[in-house]
Amino acid sequence: MPDDIAASLAVAERSAFAIETEAGECYGRLLLQQLGAHPQRSLSVIQQHPAVAFARSGLMWLTGAADGEPQMCPVAIASCADGALAALASLSPEASALDHLRGAALLAERAAWSGATRRGDVSAGGSCRLLSACDARLAVNLARDEDWSLVPAWLQAPAADWPQISELVIQRPADELVQRARWLGLAVVRSEIPPVNRAWANRAWFTTIAEGPRKQRRENQRPRVLDLSSLWAGPLCGRLLAMLGAEVVKLESVSRPDGARSGSPVFFDAMNAGKLNVAIDLTTAAGCTQLSDLLDSADIVIEASRPRALRQLGIDAEARIRNGNGQTWISITGYGRRAPQDQWIAYGDDAGVAGGLTELLRMASGQTLLCADAIGDPLTGLHAALAAWAVYQQGGGRLLSIPMRDVVAQIANFDRPHSASALRTRWQGWQQLAAGEIAAPAADLPRGQARPLGADTAKVLRDWRVEC
């Protein structure tokens, strides 16, 4: 190769590397643009190559076959998480509120506490598996005990374990299995690659479902946040808002508290430290009235259930926003609030598959793998916190639907190569760059202890002027 051509190629490679190291900052600016938010200070993002960020975050440690080498996902997941957190920090009234956190590290927070590692086509938590239908690959997530009781109705045959499920699934077409699962409320989705869409301003990760009057905020006003969510995405959103200075109240049902309480205590603490805790009986008329009154007093609401769940309690989120006083309502779902997607179930692992990560990994590496640990959850939690804070600062008056699938799909599409061959070339280069940088997951959130169930009920009801 002539010297001048070699020199030109070397310059091009260095330029591409420099551009890639700015991925986090570019993504953070994109999010602010999509939200119409104006940062109070410049974005502060570590200039790090996406491959190195993925390897050091613990995500690569969690991706790959159980008996194989860690695998690189050739999209800028870790850098985008860093960018999302930097965008949130740029809106914070205090410059140092989130300085000690890394968005990328938050993505492996649960695995850091549980000691989980990569398991190939089985999720780190064990509830989700990639299975072959007769014409496509599926992600099947049986996350709740009651899901197993629905499996015979789903497959129209007895099946009591994963080998039996696999034998039946491979005999049926994927679309039929997905449709029946959605009727029954099971989290099942095809592994597909999302379409490349560069019109980011028109294809965002959130949808404004309802709008109403906005409210002028006093400078340095501390927002009241009512967190109705459970598990990971919503609680992470609430934890980040608490770290920004919001008064966050975690509300749980007396009869059905957050299911994460039965999991890792330290992870539950990590997600819910810094919040007050209220427990009310939502099976009674009095409890539903208290819920309604608490909602009336909140500046920001975080919820992560299917819309019909609150409607059955007499709560109409859309009407509250249209007729309200500048409330910000964050609705985290699997696929959105509009029919028929409003009835579809999703959890973090299958949302990662729905967003395209498994198919991108297969195209690049030739292996069928789940990416990291419930990746849709922490990514959505980060984006939800940014959306909540940005809309609150703008005066609220908006109900935002944030589907986990769409958050993952935007990141999967962000700056990814157009062709399969270019994707494989990137994967090979990124895999090499990550060599020697791979780290196990490490906890990033500051230690704290969640409040016991109902510990602050009387105080919050009194302070928020709700009848006991």
In a domain, 78, yes or no: yes
Sheet holding 187-190, edge to edge: 128-132, 137-141, 187-190
- 184 and 205 in one domain? no
- 168 and 39 in one domain? no
- 280 and 253 in one domain? yes
- 212 and 146 in one domain? no
Question: If you write DSSP's letter for every residue of 37-61 in order, what string do you get?
Answer: ---SS--------HHHHHHHTTTTT
Q: Which residue has the tokens 């969640």?
A: 450
In a domain, 113, yes or no: yes
pLDDT digit string, tens, across residues 315-354: 999 999 999 889 999 999 999 999 999 999 999 999 999 9
Average pLDDT over residues 223-246: 97
pLDDT band at 12 (very low <50, low <70, confident <90, very high): very low
Provide the residue range defining the domain that includes 161: 128-190
- 456 and 341 in one domain? yes
pLDDT digit string, tens, across residues 183-214: 999 999 999 986 655 544 445 899 999 999 99
- 243 and 103 in one domain? yes
Sign of CA dihedral 326, 330, 336, 339: negative
In a domain, 146, yes or no: yes
Strands (E), 295-427: 300-303, 328-333, 398-403
pLDDT digit string, tens, across residues 350-406: 999 999 999 999 999 999 999 999 999 999 999 999 999 999 999 999 999 999 999
Share of the chain above pLDDT 90, in %: 84
- 198 and 186 in one domain? no
Within 206-330, where are the H helices?
A: 233-243, 265-272, 285-297, 307-311, 317-322
Q: Which residue has the tokens 């602050």?
A: 456
- 409 and 312 in one domain? yes
Please compute Rg for the chain using Cα positions: 22
**pLDDT score of 200:** 41
The CATH number given to whatever domain includes residue 261 is: 3.40.50.10540
> How many angstroms separate the CA atoms of 16 and 26, rounded?
14
- 291 and 384 in one domain? yes
**Residue type, position 189, single letter:** V
Share of the chain above pLDDT 70, in %: 94
In a domain, 468, yes or no: no
Last residue of a domain, one of 190, 216, 244: 190
- Is the Cβ–Cβ distance between 59 and 438 less than 8 Å? no
- Is the Cβ–Cβ distance between 226 and 302 less than 8 Å? yes
Compute the 3-state secondary structure of the chain and give helix, strand, coil in percent, each to the nearest 5.
Answer: 45, 10, 45
- 439 and 353 in one domain? yes
- 439 and 417 in one domain? yes
**pLDDT score of 360:** 96
- 166 and 141 in one domain? yes
pLDDT digit string, tens, across residues 92-121: 988 788 988 999 999 999 999 999 999 999
**pLDDT score of 11:** 34
Last residue of a domain, one of 163, 190, 217: 190
Counting the structural domains of the chain, the total is: 2
Last residue of a domain, one of 190, 218, 239: 190
pTM of the model: 0.94
In a domain, 63, yes or no: yes
